Structure 1
Amino acid sequence: MCGSLLVALGLAACGSGSSTGTDSTAAAGSATEAAASKPAGEPIKLMAMEAYTEPASGLEDPHFDAGQARVEAVNAAGGIDGRPLELIKCDTKSDPNLAAACARQAVEEEVVAVVGPAVFNATSAYPILEKAGISQVGGSAADQVEGSSPISFPFTSTVTQIAGVPRALVLDGAKKMGAIIPKFPGSEQVVQGLEQLVPHLGIELGEVEQLPFDTVDFAPAVAKALSGGADSVLVFFPGPNQATAIKAVKERDPSAKVGTLNVYVTPEVIEALGPDAEGLVAAAAGLPASASSPGMDEFNAEMDKYAPETPRVDGAVFLWAAVYAVEGILKQVQTIDAKAVTAALGKQAKLETGGIIPPLDTTVPGPVPGFPRVFNPTTVPVRIEAGEAQMMEPKNPFFDPFGGPPPSAGGAKGGA
C-alpha cells in the first residue's frame, strides 16, 4: 500500500531510497568462538540506562543481564583490540532528574555509547548526551526526541509495534477488531492512524476505547470494543492493568481474539493471565528468543552460559543486540571514543544486530514523518504458546505494516 500515510502514528508507507555507506555485516562476528587471551588495559565503557525499578512502565528488570552476557562473551573472546568491554547499569526509575544524572554519569565515565531498549525521560537525558556526542543504540523511540535526535539509533518504535498488531490478528483469523488504549496526549492521533492503516491490512476497525491509565474496570470498554460484530480486540495498556484488560475481554467473550505488543507480555503478565495467555497474539519488535537464526542461536548460547535465569523477553534480546551492534562499530573505528562511534553509526548501509531485526540503513532518514531516526518499520507477528512467543510467519518473519519493500534479512526457523 505504498503511498498511504499513517499520519497519526507518524509512519509513512514508502521505503527510503538507495544509498551508500559502510556495511557492518559480520563486523561483530561470533564472540563465543575459541577462547583468546584475557583482555587488559582500560575498559571500553557502555551504559544501559533504563527505568529498571519503575513498575508503572509495565516492564520488569530482565534486560541488564542479557547485555552483560554479551559483554562477558566478548571479553572471553579477547575483548576489543585486547581491551575489555564494561557495561554500566544506571536506573532512571522514570524520574527525569535521575535520567539527567545517568546522562551526566555517562559523560563523566566516558562511555562510548548508551545501549538498550528504553531510556525513559529522553527529554532530560538527550541534551546532555547530545552535547557529549554519546549515541543511544537499540532504543524503542517513544517520542520525537528519540525519533529525531542525531544521536538516536533506535531499533523500533512504540507506534511501529502498535501498527503491527492488526497483522497478527489477521493471521489469527480475525475479521473485525476493536481497540482499548490509554488516553494520553496524542492518543486521538493514534486512533486516526489506526483508522487509516487497518483497512489496508485486511481487517475492519470497530470501536476504539480510550481510558485513563488508572482504569481497573474494563467491562464497559470491552463491551463497546466487541460491539458491531467485532471478533478481536487490540489491547495496548502498558502497566499493571495490561493483564486485567485482557482478562476482561476473555470474560466477555472467551472466543474473542486478543492482540497486543509483545514487549508488554512479560512473564508476570503471562502468569497473571493463566490459561488466557495461551493463543494471545502480539507484534514483537524483533525475532523472539524461540526463533532459530545465527544471531538468536548465539544469543541463547550466551544466555545459557552467562545468564540462565534471566527471562528471554524482547527487552533482553534488544539489549543484547544493541551491545552486538556497538561491538561491530568498535571494530571499525580508528579512535575508540563516543564521537567516533556516533559518526560511524551514522554511516552504516547495513548496521547488523545479529539478525534480530533487518539490517539498518542509517545513511537516509527512516519512513516516519517527524521520526527520521526510526530506520526499521517492521514488526514480527507472534503467538504465545506454552508461555513463549512463537513466530506466526517463520519463513518471512519481518512484516512492514506500512507497505514498504520486503526486508532482505531472510527468514528464521520457528521455535520448537
Structure 2
Amino acid sequence: MTGKRRTSTRSTFLPRSFRFTRSVRATALSAGALAACVSLAVGCGVVPGITGGSGDDPIVVMTWAPEGTSATNKPGMPAFALAYARWVNANGGLNGRKLKVLTCNDHNDTVSAAACARRAVKEHAVAVVGSYSQHSDAFFPHLEGAGIPYIGGYGVTNAEFTSPLSYPVNGGQPSLLAGLGKELGATCGPVSLVRPDTIAGDTLPPMLNAGLTAGGHAKAKDQRAPEDATEYSTQAEAAVENVTGDSAGDGKGCVVTALGDRTATFMDSFRRTREDYPDVRTGTVLGSVDQTVINAAGAASGPFEGAYVTGWYPVTSDPAWAPMKKVISEEAFSDTRIDPTDTGVQTTWIAYTVFRQAVESLDGGEVTADSVRGALDDGLKVTTGGLTPTLRWEFTDQLASIGFPRLVNADVTLQAVQKGRLVAAKKGFVDVTKTLEKADVD
C-alpha cells in the first residue's frame, strides 16, 4: 500500500460503508436544521411539504454534480440538464408548463452537497434529477425531510439504493463490477483490481469477486491506490506483478481499474509498465473510461485494446440515443462540457425521461414533490426507448435481501475496445441480479 490511507474521503464510486443492511432514516428534519443558512447564494431550508406549485408557474427541479475538483467531476450533467430544459420549453413545456432547472456544484464535499439540497428545498424543487454526488449522508436528510424525490442518481452511494425517496435508473458500480467479473472469469488468468485506497474502496472487491466466482474464477488480487494521485507507477508495477507472478497465468492476466477520473492517469503509468508484458489485458467500467480516455491512451495501440468494459447502457452509436443527441444538437451543439459518450450525461437524459413521464402521468394535475413521488410509487412503468429495461420502483425487489431495495435495474451491457473503438461485445443486456445476490459482503 502506498501513501497515507484516507478514511474520511469518499471514493469516486461507492459509499463509506457498504454493510448491505437497509438503513433506517428519519423522515423529517428538525426546524433548526432546515433553517440553517449557508449563504444567500445557496439559500436555506424551509418547512417541509410546501414544495411544488400549480397553474402557470414553472416546474422547478435541480441537477447537481461536482465541477472543478481534484477528484471526479461531472460538469456535463448540469450542463445537459439546462439544455434539456431549453429544448422542452421550446417544444411546449411539460403539460404546457415551463421547466426551470436549477444547478448546483457539490464540490465533492459534504458542506456543499448539503447546501445544494437546502437550496432545492428553499426554491421549491419538485425533484432532484440526473445528479451525481458521493455525499448522500449530507444531502438525503434534507430531501427526505421535504419529501423531494431523487431521480436518477449516478449510483455512487449505498443510500441511492436504500432511501425510499431514491429512484435509481441503473445498478451503480455493484452491477458494473459484477458483470465485468463474470465476463473476465472465463477469459483471464490472474486478475488484479486497482481501486481507491479508501474505506469506500474497500467495498469494491466483493462486487468484482462475485462476478469472477460466478465465472468459475479465483478472487481478484486487491491493489489499493490513491484516488487523486498525479502518477501511478508504483501501483501499475504492483498490479502487473500480481497477474504475472503466477505461473498459471502465463503472463495473460487482467488488470481491472476502478479509479474514476484517475483511470486515465493510471493508464499513463500502466502503459509503460506493460511494455514487457504485452499479453496482460485490461478491464474497466464505464465512468472510469470512455472513448476520449481510450484515444488518449493510444487508441488501437494503447493498453485498452481488447479490453472488456461494462456499462449500464448501449454503446453511444446505438440508434436509441438519437433523441438525446437531437437535444444536444439543437440546444448545446457548441457546449464542450456535454459529451454524448459521457455516462453522466446519458444518466441525466434517462433521469429526465423518467421525470417527464411522471409529470405526464399526472394528466395536468398539480405537480409537486408529493405528486411526482406518488406517481412513481404507485407503480408507474417508465420506458426509455431501449436504453434500459422498463423501470418500476418497488421495495419487493430481489436485491432487498442484500440491502438494495431500490436497485430495480441490474442489467449491464458488455462492450469491448476493438481497433481503438468502444463497441458492443454482446447484443442486448446481461442481468447480474443472481450474481449480486451471491456477493460475499460480510
Q: TM-score, normalised by structure 1?
A: 0.79
| 1:139 aligns with one of 153, 173, 187 | 153
CA separation in 1, counterparts of 2:380 and 2:56? Answer: 32
Q: Show the counterpart of 2:429.
A: 398
Amino acid at match of 1:380: T
User: Contact (CA 8 Å) 2:240, 2:274: kept in 1 or not?
Assistant: no
| 1:76 aligns with one of 90, 97, 100 | 90
User: Contact (CA 8 Å) 2:60, 2:126: kept in 1 or not?
Assistant: yes
Higher RCO (CA < 8 A, seq sep 6+): 1
Q: Show the counterpart of 2:9.
A: none
Q: Show the counterpart of 2:260.
A: 238
Which region of structure 1 is more displaced relative to structure 2, 341-350 or 311-320? 341-350
1:150: Cα distance to partner?
A: 1.1
Taking the TM superposition and a 5 Å limit, the aligned residue runs for 1:61-140 are: 61-140=75-154
Number of residue pairs matched by the alignment: 365
1:154: Cα distance to partner?
A: 1.2
Judging changes above 3 Å, is the alpha-carbon distance between structure 1 residues 301 and 191 closer, same or farther for their aligned structure 2 residues?
same
CA separation in 2, counterparts of 1:379 and 1:319? Answer: 17
CA separation in 2, counterparts of 1:139 and 1:249? Answer: 36
CA separation in 1, counterparts of 2:273 and 2:214? Answer: 25
User: Contact (CA 8 Å) 1:286, 1:357: kept in 2 or not?
Assistant: yes
Q: Show the counterpart of 1:325.
A: 354
Q: Does residue 254 in structure 1 map to residue 283 in structure 2?
A: no
Taking the TM superposition and a 5 Å limit, the aligned residue runs for 1:164-313 are: 164-169=179-184, 173-185=187-199, 187-213=201-227, 214=229, 216=232, 217-218=234-235, 219-228=237-246, 229=249, 230-245=252-267, 246-247=270-271, 250-266=274-290, 269-275=293-299, 276=302, 277-293=304-320, 296-309=321-334, 310-312=338-340, 313=342
Q: Please, what is the CA RMSD of the aligned residues?
A: 2.9
CA separation in 2, counterparts of 1:288 and 1:348? Answer: 29
User: Contact (CA 8 Å) 2:196, 2:226: kept in 1 or not?
Assistant: yes
Q: TM-score, normalised by structure 2?
A: 0.74
User: Contact (CA 8 Å) 2:291, 2:422: kept in 1 or not?
Assistant: no
Judging changes above 3 Å, is the alpha-carbon distance between structure 1 residues 258 and 11 closer, same or farther for their aligned structure 2 residues?
farther
Q: Show the counterpart of 1:382.
A: 415
| 2:374 aligns with one of 327, 343, 365 | 343
CA separation in 2, counterparts of 1:391 and 1:114? Answer: 31
Which region of structure 1 is more displaced relative to structure 2, 305-314 or 152-161? 305-314
1:183: Cα distance to partner?
A: 2.6
Amino acid at match of 2:322: D
Which is strand-richer, 1 or 2?
A: 1
Structure 2 stretches lacking a partner, 5+ long: 1-16, 22-54, 436-442
Which region of structure 1 is more displaced relative to structure 2, 85-94 or 46-55? 46-55
| 1:360 aligns with one of 391, 415, 423 | 391
Task: Give a deviation string over 1:333-385, Cα, whole Å, max 9, x none.
Answer: 23201111112112235223333221122123431512211111121111235
Task: Give a deviation string over 1:295-322, Cα, whole Å, max 9, x none.
Answer: x221122222222343111111110111
User: Contact (CA 8 Å) 1:207, 1:227: kept in 2 or not?
Assistant: no
Task: Give a deviation string over 1:7-57, Cα, whole Å, max 9, x none.
Answer: x98789xxxxxxxxxxxxxxxxxxxxxxxxxxx932111111111222312
CA separation in 2, counterparts of 1:385 and 1:84? Answer: 44
Task: Give a deviation string over 1:236-265, Cα, whole Å, max 9, x none.
Answer: 122435442453564352232211111121
